[in-house]
A and B are shown apart, each in its own frame.
Chain A
Amino acid sequence: MKKLVEMLNISKSFGDVRANDNVNLDLCEGEIHGIVGGNGAGKSTLMKILFGLLKPDSGKIKINGEEKRFNSTQDAINEKIGMVHQDFVLVDTLSALDNIILGREPVKFGFIKREDVKDEVIRLIKKYGLNFNPDDMVNKLTLGEQQRIELIKILMQDAKIIILDEPTASLTVSEVDALFNILKKLKDSKKSILFISHKLPEVIEISDRISIMRQGKIYTTINKNEANVEKLTELMTGEELKLEDSFYLFSGKEPVFKLENVKLKKNREVYLNISLEVKEGEILGVVGIEGNGQKELEGILSGFIKPDGGKIFFKGQCKRNISPEWLKESKISIIPSRKIEDGLVEDFTVYENCILGRIDEKKFSKFGLLQKKIIVKEAEKLIDEFNIEPYNPYIRVKYLSGGNQQKVILARELSKNPEFLIACNPTRGVDIKSTFFIRNRLLKLKEKGAGILLITSDIDEAFSITSRIAVLYRGRITGVFNTRETDEREIGFMMLGGEKRKAG
């Protein structure tokens, strides 16, 4: 096939970080080329270079065999390149159509004819099955639909080369399906697509070829038929990663933690009403599309929000609401979803963060004086056990990478020997190696008999480590399933408000 894009020996450094190191990448006409790699592998950097957002330190870009220099995104757009960013922004309070008009370049002499644009938009929606109403307000649309607005903007610029940077990162299963149908149609009309993700099964499903990036280098490029998840994982991380085996084991003993009709009201209307129980030795996953009450549930569980009714049981003891002090006394650990804001003191060193919430333990202070030696020793133990990098208890936590920051929280919370752990998106934004590590530690804790409540927006995560999955929809638990008796489709269906079909 003809090579439409060639990126040759591209290098780009940020200070000491070699984000791209002699990278070669090509894209053929009508091809979907997947790019996978852990956080910080350099995928976004490479794409930003192709889109003219960043200038490479060295290397060439050829379009149709002709060398090009991109000084701005406009140069890239002129070469029919379009990009949907990892975190695109739309104006919430405008309609989809207005957002599309906003994104267009000004037309010389005169006004954009709204109706013309609308006709064009409707034509594109029909052609590629984009399936949304251009007159809807953006804030009424799902994330998947908003993404399609971005796509239309690109298509209206007549892009032939489409870059999608982690488009599936926060989509539900069915939205991913919808996106893939669109991508197939785009491909049929001879568009070429660069598809970035770190979710391996979907990359394998949609791509014709797959390039694996690791530490700024393209490690290898393989064809779809050579690819499987294990192989890609190994190529991506340089080692074999797997989860501990026993994950579906389900103890079925006493509940350690229970919520009974825990409510939140707004204007006298109940918008959250949750009942669930977590048994000893199990991980209960709570999944749902963001915005269905996860934040509120986490707020109640961490004691920041007082519920307007209902009961909370911990080991038989009944409470009306939770306070952080009570969590501490009861040895309930929590991994908050906002790790920097709620889980760490960024300006503290690693060793100081390791004793956050444990400072009252006798060994850490005598007559009100901190026992620094003992604290540092404890921190070193945790750094060792959890492979926190760099091995330095004196470094400030803000200088650690996201994965290592998350490990500091995990290490600290597990070191409290909790009987119950609340984990909110514990692996979000964390690279695949640390993800495996964190999930394995959760499994280990469960094995020791602790109950774990895992609130996650990552269905894969729920399926890989939970014993049961509860679906959160519009502030209610709409179904609870044994993990091995359900599948992603059923859960995805429930997450969108579907009715439960069978007993769980």
Chain B
Amino acid sequence: MKKYLKEILFLLISICGAFFISGLIILFSGEHPSEVFSIFIEGIFGSTEGILYTLFFSTPLIFTGLSVAFALKGGLFNIGAEGQLYIGSMAAAFVGFTLVNFPPVVLIPLTILVSIIGGGLWGSIAGFLKAKFGSHEVINTIMLNFIAISLVGYLSSGPFKNPGDQIPQTPLISESARIPEIHTIFPAFPETVPLNISFFIAIFSAIFAYVLLKYTKLGYEIRSVGFNPDASRLSGISLIKINLLTMFISGAFAGMVSINEVLGYRYRFLNNFSPGYGYFGIAVALLGKNHPLGVIASAIFFGAISRGGLLVDIHSDRISRDVIFVIQGIIILFVISRELMSVIAKRKKYTAL
């Protein structure tokens, strides 16, 4: 219990620190920090809309946070969620605008499955390279990001481009591939918010990851390899198999970003749609202490910052977008500083061996 209190205290202190420095930056930009902060806070908590928007923004982050956290449990640092989510999204969009005559009961599960497999396979390439040749997954996943981004860029501006559009994007997916927005289920919620049922799928995925890691044999083996690959190997666990599976599952979570972005929001693949969800996933996982359920909380926190930042952007003339990014960056740095330190320390110890 004491441990948790300490964690929360630390978090509060870092948030205060972040607000203090942000306050200074706002002051320099010529605005009143108190006003800006109240817009920020109100934007998040002030209305049902604000809260639902926060959840909407957090949905892709839950997926990418899970992706990074899961790989880390298996001892792998997945920087490649960005590429994996693009591949998964393109795969989902392709199925969605191609198989237009399928009924929803078939098409929705199918598109979700394709996005899982797409992201998963893209992730497992890095797992395979690591297990087979020992090439470092950080480098591999970064390289695979470049490849994935170029690939989907080519597809969305070439063969799969919606004819006649000015921007690189695919045609809309079939109506029967789209998942419902939240207000269709809870009519009391405002129609303006694009929050859709992918949020619940994200929560479910986190629970799934938790159960998988904690209660299954595969989870045991993944954690074992994550903690100590040598001892695991000697005990007869196949590192190739486990590295592959870990990266498949990790990539699959990243691929599932498409459920929100393609099936639930844009209804198509738009090139460069991700503002860096994959990279944010690293911070989300760190703040969530790599725990699948911690990832949910941490993703919602990051979602809130996005939402608040958006409102400040709309309401204030003097504070430019860039300043908001800087402030968001400062908040993130503050809250994850400790986790970052411990990860760096661990990796140092690891490479020193």
**Interface 0/1 of B99-112, CB less than 8 Å to A:** 00000000000000
Would you call B236 an interface residue if the criterion is a C-beta within 8 Å of the partner chain's C-beta atoms?
yes
**Interface 0/1 of B305-318, CB less than 8 Å to A:** 00000000000000
Find out whether the CB atom of B234 lies under 8 angstroms from the CB atom of A345: no
Find out whether the CB atom of A368 lies under 8 angstroms from the CB atom of B234: no
Which of B215, B228, B237 lies at the interface centre, i.e. has the most chain A CB atoms within 10 A of its CB? B228
From A111-119, A134-142, A352-360, the one touching the partner chain is A352-360
Known: A325-B238, A327-B236. A344 touches B228 (CB 8 A): yes
Told that A357-B236, A359-B220 touch, could you supply 15 new A-B pairs with CB distance under 8 A? A327-B236, A328-B236, A336-B234, A341-B353, A342-B230, A344-B231, A345-B228, A345-B231, A348-B223, A352-B220, A357-B235, A360-B236, A364-B217, A365-B217, A372-B215
Chain B residues with CB below 8 A from A360, complex form: 236
Per the bound structure, the CA–CA distance linking A438 and B236 in Å amounts to 24
Chain A residues with CB below 8 A from B216, complex form: 365, 368-370
| Chain A residues numbered 283-340 whose CB sits less than 8 Å from any CB in chain B | 302-304, 324-325, 327-328, 334, 336
Per the bound structure, the CA–CA distance linking A359 and B223 in Å amounts to 13
Find out whether the CB atom of A345 lies under 8 angstroms from the CB atom of B224: yes
Chain A contacts to B: CB under 8 angstroms: 302-304, 324-325, 327-328, 334, 336, 341-348, 352, 356-357, 359-360, 364-365, 368-370, 372
Chain B residues with CB below 8 A from A368, complex form: 216-218
Chain B residues with CB below 8 A from A327, complex form: 236
Known: A359-B221, A370-B217. A325 touches B227 (CB 8 A): no
Find out whether the CB atom of A341 lies under 8 angstroms from the CB atom of B231: yes
Q: List the 5 closest pairs (A to B, CB-CB), nearest first.
A: A357-B235, A328-B236, A365-B217, A356-B235, A345-B228
| A365, closest chain B residue (CB) | B217
Smallest beta-carbon distance A354→chain B, Å? 11
Find out whether the CB atom of A324 lies under 8 angstroms from the CB atom of B231: no
Chain A residues with CB below 8 A from B237, complex form: 324
| B217, closest chain A residue (CB) | A365
| Chain B residues numbered 204-246 whose CB sits less than 8 Å from any CB in chain A | 215-221, 223-224, 227-228, 230-238
Known: A348-B224, A368-B216, A369-B217. A356 touches B233 (CB 8 A): no
Find out whether the CB atom of A348 lies under 8 angstroms from the CB atom of B236: no
Chain B residues with CB below 8 A from A334, complex form: 234
Per the bound structure, the CA–CA distance linking A398 and B231 in Å amounts to 14
Smallest beta-carbon distance A331→chain B, Å? 11
Smallest beta-carbon distance A209→chain B, Å? 43
Per the bound structure, the CA–CA distance linking A356 and B232 in Å amounts to 8
Count, A-B residue pairs, CB within 8 A: 67
Per the bound structure, the CA–CA distance linking A336 and B235 in Å amounts to 11
Per the bound structure, the CA–CA distance linking A175 and B228 in Å amounts to 37
Per the bound structure, the CA–CA distance linking A357 and B235 in Å amounts to 4
User: What would be 22 A-B contacts, judged by CB atoms less than 8 Å apart?
Assistant: A325-B236, A325-B238, A328-B236, A341-B230, A341-B231, A342-B231, A344-B231, A345-B231, A346-B227, A346-B228, A347-B227, A352-B224, A356-B224, A356-B231, A356-B235, A357-B234, A357-B235, A359-B220, A364-B217, A368-B216, A369-B216, A370-B217
Find out whether the CB atom of A370 lies under 8 angstroms from the CB atom of B236: no
Chain A residues with CB below 8 A from B230, complex form: 341-342
Chain B residues with CB below 8 A from A347, complex form: 227-228
Per the bound structure, the CA–CA distance linking A343 and B230 in Å amounts to 8
| A334, closest chain B residue (CB) | B234
Per the bound structure, the CA–CA distance linking A343 and B232 in Å amounts to 8
Per the bound structure, the CA–CA distance linking A465 and B227 in Å amounts to 35
Per the bound structure, the CA–CA distance linking A365 and B219 in Å amounts to 12
**Residue among A304, A342, A343, A370 making CB contact with B215, cutoff 8 Å:** A370
Chain A residues with CB below 8 A from B238, complex form: 325
**Residue among B218, B227, B353 making CB contact with A348, cutoff 8 Å:** B227
Known: A345-B227, A368-B216. A324 touches B221 (CB 8 A): no
Known: A324-B234, A336-B234, A370-B215. A341 touches B220 (CB 8 A): no
Per the bound structure, the CA–CA distance linking A52 and B223 in Å amounts to 44
**Interface 0/1 of B115-154, CB less than 8 Å to A:** 0000000000000000000000000000000000000000
Chain A residues with CB below 8 A from B217, complex form: 359, 364-365, 368-370
Smallest beta-carbon distance A279→chain B, Å? 25
Per the bound structure, the CA–CA distance linking A392 and B211 in Å amounts to 24
Known: A359-B220, A369-B215, A370-B216. A343 touches B227 (CB 8 A): no
Which of B228, B230, B234 lies at the interface centre, i.e. has the most chain A CB atoms within 10 A of its CB? B234
Chain B residues with CB below 8 A from A303, complex form: 234
| B233, closest chain A residue (CB) | A324
Per the bound structure, the CA–CA distance linking A325 and B234 in Å amounts to 8
Chain A residues with CB below 8 A from B232, complex form: 345, 356
Smallest beta-carbon distance B219→chain A, Å? 8
Per the bound structure, the CA–CA distance linking A368 and B214 in Å amounts to 12
Smallest beta-carbon distance A50→chain B, Å? 33
Find out whether the CB atom of A324 lies under 8 angstroms from the CB atom of B228: no
| B214, closest chain A residue (CB) | A370
Known: A370-B216, A370-B220. A324 touches B236 (CB 8 A): yes
Smallest beta-carbon distance A406→chain B, Å? 14
Smallest beta-carbon distance A191→chain B, Å? 40
Smallest beta-carbon distance B77→chain A, Å? 17
Per the bound structure, the CA–CA distance linking A324 and B218 in Å amounts to 18
Per the bound structure, the CA–CA distance linking A345 and B223 in Å amounts to 9
Per the bound structure, the CA–CA distance linking A336 and B217 in Å amounts to 24
Chain A residues with CB below 8 A from B218, complex form: 368
Find out whether the CB atom of A343 lies under 8 angstroms from the CB atom of B231: yes
Per the bound structure, the CA–CA distance linking A344 and B224 in Å amounts to 10
Per the bound structure, the CA–CA distance linking A95 and B232 in Å amounts to 41
Per the bound structure, the CA–CA distance linking A484 and B220 in Å amounts to 47
Find out whether the CB atom of A302 lies under 8 angstroms from the CB atom of B234: yes
Smallest beta-carbon distance B63→chain A, Å? 24
| A409, closest chain B residue (CB) | B231
| Chain B residues numbered 170-216 whose CB sits less than 8 Å from any CB in chain A | 215-216
Per the bound structure, the CA–CA distance linking A348 and B235 in Å amounts to 14
Chain A residues with CB below 8 A from B235, complex form: 324, 328, 356-357
Chain A residues with CB below 8 A from B220, complex form: 352, 359, 370
Smallest beta-carbon distance A79→chain B, Å? 38
Per the bound structure, the CA–CA distance linking A128 and B315 in Å amounts to 87
Per the bound structure, the CA–CA distance linking A47 and B262 in Å amounts to 70
Per the bound structure, the CA–CA distance linking A347 and B235 in Å amounts to 16
| A355, closest chain B residue (CB) | B220
Smallest beta-carbon distance B213→chain A, Å? 11
Chain A residues with CB below 8 A from B221, complex form: 359
Smallest beta-carbon distance A384→chain B, Å? 23
Per the bound structure, the CA–CA distance linking A347 and B73 in Å amounts to 12
